[in-house]
Structure 1
Amino acid sequence: MSGSGKLRPLATDWGRLVLQKARISELKDHLDGEVTLQGWVRHHRKSGKIQFIVLRDGSGFCQCVLVKSEVDEQIWERARQLTTESSLRLIGTVQQNPRNQNYELLVKDLEIVHISEAFPITPKEHGIEFLMDRRHLWFRSKRQWAILRIRHTLVKAIRDFFDERGFTLIDSPILTPTAAEGTSTLFGVDYFDEQAYLSQSGQLYLEPAVAAFGKVYCFGPTFRAEKSKTRRHLTEFWMVEPEIAFAHLEDVMQLGESFLKHLVQRVLENNQFELKELERDTTKLEAALQPFVRMTYNEAVEKLKKLGSDIQWGEDFGGDDETMLTNEFDQPIIVHRFPKEFKAFYMEPDPEDDRLVLGMDILAPEGYGEVVGGGERASSIDFLNEQIAKHELDPEPYQWYLDVRRYGSFPHSGFGLGLERAVAWICKLPHVRETIPYPRMLYRLKP
Structure 2
Amino acid sequence: MDWVLIKNLKHHVGKEVEIRGWLYNQRATGKIRFLILRDGTGTVQCVLVKDENTDLFNNTGDITQESSLILTGTVREEPRSPLGVEITPLSVKILAKAEPYPITLKEHGVDFLSENRHLWIRTPRQSAILRIRSTVQRACRDFFHSRDFVLADSPIITPAACEGTSTLFEINYHDEKAFLSQSGQLYNEATAMALGRVYCFGPTFRAEKSKTRRHLMEFWMLEAEAAFFDFEDNMKLQEELVHHLARTVLSENRDDLKLLKRDVEKLEAVSLPFPRLSYTEAVKLLNDLGHPFEWGNDFGAPDETAISDKFQSPVFIHRYPARIKAFYMEPDPENPDVILGADMLAPEGYGEIIGGSQRISDPTLLRQKIAEHHLPLESFQWYLDLRRFGTVPHSGFGLGIERTVSWLCGIEHVREAIPFPRTLYRMYP
- Contact kept in structure 2, 1:71 and 1:109, CA below 8 Å: no
Query: Of residues 282, 293, 300 in structure 1, which corresponds to 2:264?
Result: 282
| Corresponding position of 1:6 | none
- Contact kept in structure 1, 2:10 and 2:84, CA below 8 Å: no
Query: Of residues 398, 412, 436 in structure 1, which corresponds to 2:418?
Result: 436
The answer on 1:379 being equivalent to 2:357 is: no
Distance in 1, matches of 2:151 and 2:90, equals: 50
Structure 2 counterpart of 1:150, one-letter code: I
- Contact kept in structure 2, 1:65 and 1:104, CA below 8 Å: yes
Gaps of 5+ in 1: 1-18
| Corresponding position of 2:329 | 347
Structure 1, residues 116-164: CA drift from partner, whole Å, max 9, x if none? 1111112222111011000000011111111111101101001111011
The answer on 1:93 being equivalent to 2:74 is: yes
Query: Of residues 343, 348, 357 in structure 2, which corresponds to 1:366?
Result: 348
Q: Which stretch has the larger CA shift, 165-174 or 288-297?
A: 288-297
Q: For residue 289 of structure 1, report the CA deviation from its aligned partner.
A: 2.5
The answer on 1:203 being equivalent to 2:185 is: yes
Distance in 1, matches of 2:374 and 2:8, equals: 59
The answer on 1:255 being equivalent to 2:258 is: no
The answer on 1:81 being equivalent to 2:52 is: no
Q: For residue 115 of structure 1, report the CA deviation from its aligned partner.
A: 1.6
User: What is the correspondence of 1:105-254 to structure 2 with a 5 Å cutoff?
Assistant: 105-254=87-236
Q: For residue 98 of structure 1, report the CA deviation from its aligned partner.
A: 4.4
Distance in 1, matches of 2:412 and 2:21, equals: 30
Gaps of 5+ in 2: none
Query: Of residues 34, 37, 50 in structure 1, which corresponds to 2:32?
Result: 50
| Corresponding position of 1:15 | none
Give the fraction of aligned pairs with identical amino acids, expressed as a percent: 54
- Structure 2 residue matching 1:304: 3-state secondary structure: helix
| Corresponding position of 1:320 | 302
Change (3 A) 1:340 1:24: same
- Contact kept in structure 1, 2:331 and 2:338, CA below 8 Å: yes
- Count of matched residue positions in the alignment of Structure 1 and Structure 2: 428
Structure 2 counterpart of 1:205, one-letter code: Y
Structure 2 counterpart of 1:403, one-letter code: D
| Corresponding position of 1:271 | 253
Structure 2 counterpart of 1:310, one-letter code: P
- Structure 2 residue matching 1:70: 3-state secondary structure: coil
TM-score (norm 1): 0.94
Structure 1, residues 93-117: CA drift from partner, whole Å, max 9, x if none? 1101144471111111111112211
Q: For residue 166 of structure 1, report the CA deviation from its aligned partner.
A: 0.4
- Contact kept in structure 2, 1:154 and 1:267, CA below 8 Å: yes
Distance in 2, matches of 1:383 and 1:232, equals: 34
Q: For residue 290 of structure 1, report the CA deviation from its aligned partner.
A: 4.2
- Contact kept in structure 2, 1:41 and 1:53, CA below 8 Å: yes
Structure 1, residues 288-320: CA drift from partner, whole Å, max 9, x if none? 134311111110111111112222111111111
Q: Which stretch has the larger CA shift, 370-379 or 80-89?
A: 80-89
| Corresponding position of 1:399 | 381
